[in-house]
Structure 1
Amino acid sequence: MTQTPVDNRIQLDFTGDERTLLTGFLDFLRGTIELKCAGLSEEDARRSVLPSQLNTAAGIVKHLRWVEAYWFESAIGGKPDAAPYSREDPDADWRIEPGETISGLLADYAEQCTASRELVAGLDLDHEVAFRGDKVLSVRWVLIHMIEETGRHAGHLDVVRELLDGVTGE
């Protein structure tokens, strides 16, 4: 794997073992989130350009930080879910609170991604944990799910960014 000098995202080879490809694609998408936020002002990062007032660039980053924490640290690692949402306030992980900045949210996201990487690095893809009662969950499933989740939100972020200032692409 190499990084392009322009945007620092991992560029995968077209071949590789399953773990390398799964973690590589997830890291590429994580880098896409960072790239899509590059150069945004605080005002633009908080501005809603879609019908949902929560679907802002900053809100997407904050949500993805907590999605990473849930699936890796809670679901796989067994730690309590520390996300700010609740039954009474299920969208709190999207809402930008006073004092939160896009740079701080990106730093929190990067830190969480590092913790996620470290957690799964020592686990086999077939490693399973009990999940939601009588179900089991594998590391492989979580990685695939996180590729889907991060990719979907990278697409949302692409639309948000294009509507904010016309920046789109990769």
Structure 2
Amino acid sequence: MEPVLIADERTQIEQFLDTNRDELVEAVEGLTDEQARRRLVPSLTTPLGLLKHVTWAEQVWFHVGLAGRTREELGLPLENDPSWTVHEDDTVAAVVAEYRRVCAEAREIAAAYALDDLAVHNRRGPLTLRWLYLHMIEEIARHAGHADILREQILAGDAVEVPE
């Protein structure tokens, strides 16, 4: 869906964020669980790992940073690296469902704040909701691009060559 072209600032920002969220999900949907786990780079970056990482990031910024919940309460690792880990029982369907749930909660949390209201429960100090939204747009767009490239490589590698 194309972001809203003419609307107030908040509507546009939220639409850009939701569009990026959807694009990241689209990059993993249709992949098998095996394909979504495939590592094509030395890091822990996989299509499914990208989605798990942004699920963690959504919770860190909205659930913790804005709403004031604790990482312990949410079962979140304190560091970034474990957020990329894909476990044997992680499936595309389950990780997508969890991401959608976390995003719905993030939308609900953010709805109670104005763009200039401060997120005070984060390590960087007070930041506006506007900054948080823009940061998440940047973060998710970057990772959606990574996921698109990985998906293309996976599908190209799995393609059956047609004889001429």
Give me the TM-score of the superposition, normalised by structure 2. Answer: 0.87
1:131 CA drift (Å)? 4.5
Equivalent residue for 2:63?
73
Bigger strand fraction: 1
2:120 corresponds to 1:127: no
Write the distance in 2 (CA, Å) between the matches of 1:108 and 1:124.
26
8 Å contact 2:114–2:129 — kept in the other structure? yes
Equivalent residue for 1:138?
128
Deviations 1:14-48 (A, max 9, x none): 22111001000000000101111121001101000
**Structural RMSD (CA):** 1.8
Give me the TM-score of the superposition, normalised by structure 1. Answer: 0.84
Equivalent residue for 1:39?
30
Deviations 1:62-109 (A, max 9, x none): 00101000000100110002354345xx52111111211111001000
| TM alignment of 1:99-138, pairs within 5 A | 99-132=89-122, 135-138=125-128
Identity of aligned residues (%): 34
Write the distance in 2 (CA, Å) between the matches of 1:84 and 1:61.
15
Task: Name which structure has the greater RCO, CA cutoff 8 Å, separation 6+.
Answer: 2
8 Å contact 2:33–2:92 — kept in the other structure? yes
How many residues are treated as equivalent by the alignment?
Answer: 155
